Amino acid sequence: MSQKLVVPIELLKELEDAAKKTFPIECCGFLFGKENDGEILVKKVVHAKNRLESTTRFDIDPREIYNAVSMADKEGLELVGFYHSHPEFAAYPSGYDIEAMKLWPKEVWLIISLQKYETKFRAFIYDKLEPKEVPVEAK
């Protein structure tokens, strides 16, 4: 079954703003919503602190993950993915990203690239030992 990530335009704008605000540090956070017949619909974005404050990696405190997932559960939403930025690199998973994806193989990973001052969104899931691109649809 093919999958696609559907994100409301206003949430894509919010993610782009977050990436620009934290530049050159990678921003990161959570995507909450619902999955239905391969369509992953994002309904809410929750920003997280990149505790590495790195330009090339991110890490989220496990307590922050727990709190965000608990809050979303109370709202009837599911964790459908994570997002982070690549301030000066292409929107493709790094080796570090791929290692993190192995821990959360069912979630989608949305990467926001600001390379060459042009914002690009690409999404991936970890499938059979490698990242597989998932189309991103602005809605």
The CA distance from 6 to 81, in Å, is: 12
> What pTM value is reported for the model?
0.94
Q: Is 58 in a helix, a strand, or coil?
A: coil
Report the chain's mean pLDDT, rounded to a whole number: 94
pLDDT at 1 over 60: no
Residue 117 has pLDDT above 70, yes or no: yes
Task: Tell whether the model's pLDDT for residue 130 goes beyond 60.
Answer: yes
Taking only the tens place, the pLDDT of each residue in 85-111 is: 999 889 999 999 999 999 998 999 999
- If one compares 129 and 70, the residue with the highest pLDDT of the two is 70
Predicted local confidence at residue 12, as pLDDT: 97
Choose among 38, 15, 4: nearest CA to 120.
15
Specify the amino acid at residue 105. P
Quote the CA–CA distance of 118 and 122 in Å, as a whole number: 13
Which element (helix H / strand E) includes 113?
A: strand 108-113
Short-list 7, 75, 19, CA closest to 47: 19
Token output for 114: 């600001």
Residue 95, H or E segment: helix 95-103
Question: Any idea which residues carry the catalytic annotation?
Answer: 26
